[in-house]
Structure 1
Amino acid sequence: MQPGDANVSGNVHGGRILQMIEEAGMIVSTRHCNVGMTEENNCICGLARVEHTDFLQPMFVGEIAHLHAVATYCSAHSIEVKVDVHAENLFKGEKRLTNQATLWYVPIKEGNIVCNVPPLVYKQPEDEMAGRRRYLKQKTEREQVDTNAPSMTDNWAMSIDVPNRNGEMHTVGNAQSSLIHLVGVQDCGVHGWAMGGVAMKLMDEVAGICAIRHCHTNVVTASMDAVDFHQRINKGSLLHVRGRPIFNSYKSLLIQVIVMVEQSGKNEHGELDVILYCACSAYFTFVSLSSERKTLPIPPLKLHTDDEKARFEEGQQRYKKQKSLRSAM
């Protein structure tokens, strides 16, 4: 890992790791889906979902990142890939696990046509049954109405201009952040649309800015909740990446991040118009660190509006759910 991969704390940026994870998953899933396919029928796998991702340990500049990705389950039109990330310190001869992630991909060929996924050979029948349960679980979660996907009546999501900050410390308005990014050729794969890892890297950056504005300390990404990619992001689009803090516990801060896509197109009357839609959204958890890398208390979030209070309660439920899941492991 190079100096350009680091955040201000000296750790490798969480978004950079997410980008590498997505690239590894894309390679493995695309390789599997093109086994036995003809040149006329080959495909590229696009990211559909990322499950909850924990950053187990930091990775540092100068270490070597090892990513091991393997296909673990296939349905008719999707493939599950699990990725382990290890950091190797060449001087100490040590290697440690830093990240584990589960991603779901869909194979797509020219014309935006979803391809069939070749069957996967499982070591044990139990592996296929367990994978089937995971598949049905994530399918159910994606089909449910989720607050991750803002409706077009969500004023905060739709107001993509930079908001006026009132300057009051530890408020949502003072910490929220936005970023506008033009999707260029360098952001896209051979299929012509933005790689999922690019969006996740930008989301992590915006979430990190929110956390710094709220805590005024060094912060690091602790986890990222499941991410659903609702629509693909085309080359030439403008990405409006918006983040806001919604909940804090004593030592963690929950940030909601959405990616709104702005592109030119035709409306229902056939007239040229600006189209705005939500491509993906997620919740990031950050912790605050002292100069000695010890966790610090999070300043309490000041809530002024009914919406902020409702979001805080929602974040509290998410926090309790994740805490109970960790306790059960």
Structure 2
Amino acid sequence: MDLEARPISRSRSIMTELVFPTDTNHHGTMFGGTLMKYIDKISAIAAMRHCSKPVVTASTDSLDFLTPIRLGEAVELEAFVTSTHRSSMEVYVVVRAENLFTGDRRVTCTAFSTFVAVDENGKPIAVPPVIPENEAEQRLYDSAPDRYDLRKKRRSERYSSTE
């Protein structure tokens, strides 16, 4: 497998959807669960673009809803790989809403997800390193180890009432 480092731009993926009535709650704003589904989908695409292998979702964290997305707005999701480990990739997603009549755009949500590349038997396999290409990507790359440590800590402290 080619494990030569790849630029972040290789994984950059964009998805745009129109918010319909079936996507909204009684407030006329987009269901959080629908947006979470979109985040998982675009994140998986970005991860697969980076490693050229099948991937599975390992975690989603730092999912921050900043402003509501309203009925009739376009919702744009941009995702890219910010960091890698042996078989895992951290993917950053920024969600923007746009009023298509006025052109007003705003960031509505950000999220970090972790994906693991798998072989044909579902076993983790190595992924290539990632190379940041601009200052914003470098900041995300440089701060990734702290997020990784927090994920590890959270997993070690996880509580289950069934254990």
Query: 1:94: which partner in 2?
Result: 104
Q: Residue 129 of structure 1: CA displacement? A: 4.2
- Number of the residue aligned with 2:84: 74
Paired residue for 1:115?
125
1:14 aligns with 2:32: yes
Query: Please, which runs of 5 or more residues in structure 2 have no aligned partner?
Result: 1-18
Q: For the residues of structure 2 that align with 1:126 and 1:64, how far apart are their CA atoms?
A: 28
| 3-state SS in 2 of match to 1:61 | coil
Q: Could you tell me which of 115, 140, 144 is aligned with 2:153?
A: 140
Give, in angstroms, the shift of residue 98 of structure 1.
0.7
Distance in 2 between residues matched to 1:120 and 1:7, nearest whole Å: 39
Seen in structure 2, the aligned counterparts of structure 1 residues 10 and 51 have a Cα distance that, compared at 3 Å, is same
Corresponding position of 2:63: 53
- Aligned residue pair count: 142
Larger relative CO (CA 8 A, sep 6+): 1 or 2? 2
Contact 2:47 2:81 in 1 (8 A): yes
Q: How does 1:210-249 map to 2 (within 5 A)?
A: none
Tell me by how many angstroms 1:21 deviates: 0.7
Whether 2:41 is the aligned partner of 1:30: answer no
For the residue of structure 1 that corresponds to 2:115, the secondary structure is strand
User: What is the alpha-carbon distance in structure 2 between the residues aligned to residue 19 and residue 7 of structure 1?
Assistant: 16
Q: How does 1:150-169 map to 2 (within 5 A)?
A: 150-152=161-163
Q: CA separation of 1:99/1:151 partners in 2, compared to 1, >3 Å: closer, same or farther?
A: same
C-alpha displacement of 1:109: 2.0
Give the Å deviation of 1:128.
4.4
Q: Label 1:54 to 1:94 Cα distance change in 2 as closer, same or farther (>3 A).
A: same
Instruction: Detail structure 1 runs of 4+ shifted over 2 Å in the superposition.
Output: 122-130, 149-152
Give aligned-pair identity as a percent. Answer: 31
Distance 2:64 2:130 in 1: 27
Shift of 1:126: 6.8
Distance 1:46 1:133 in 2: 22
3-state DSSP class of the match of 1:51? strand
CA distance in 1 between partners of 2:139 and 2:92 (Å): 17
Distance 1:108 1:94, change over 3 A: same
State the TM-score, normalizing by the size of structure 1. Answer: 0.41
Whole-angstrom distance in 1 between the partners of 2:112 and 2:161? 24
Q: Distance in 1 between matches of 2:23 and 2:143?
A: 36
Gaps of 5+ in 1: 35-42, 153-329
| Change in CA separation of 1:74 and 1:92 when aligned onto 2, cut-off 3 Å | same
Change (3 A) 1:95 1:128: closer
Matched, 1:44 2:50: no
Call closer, same or farther: CA 1:8–1:128 in 2, change over 3 Å: closer
Supply the distance in 2 between the matched residues of 1:53 and 1:22 (Cα, whole angstroms): 11
RMSD after superposition: 1.8
Structure (1 or 2) with the larger CA radius of gyration: 1
Structure 2 residue identity aligned to 1:134: R
Give the letter for the 1:51 counterpart. Answer: D
Structure 2 distance, partners of 1:3, 1:128, is: 38
Q: Is the 8 A contact 2:62 2:110 kept in 1?
A: no
Q: How much does 1:127 deviate?
A: 5.6
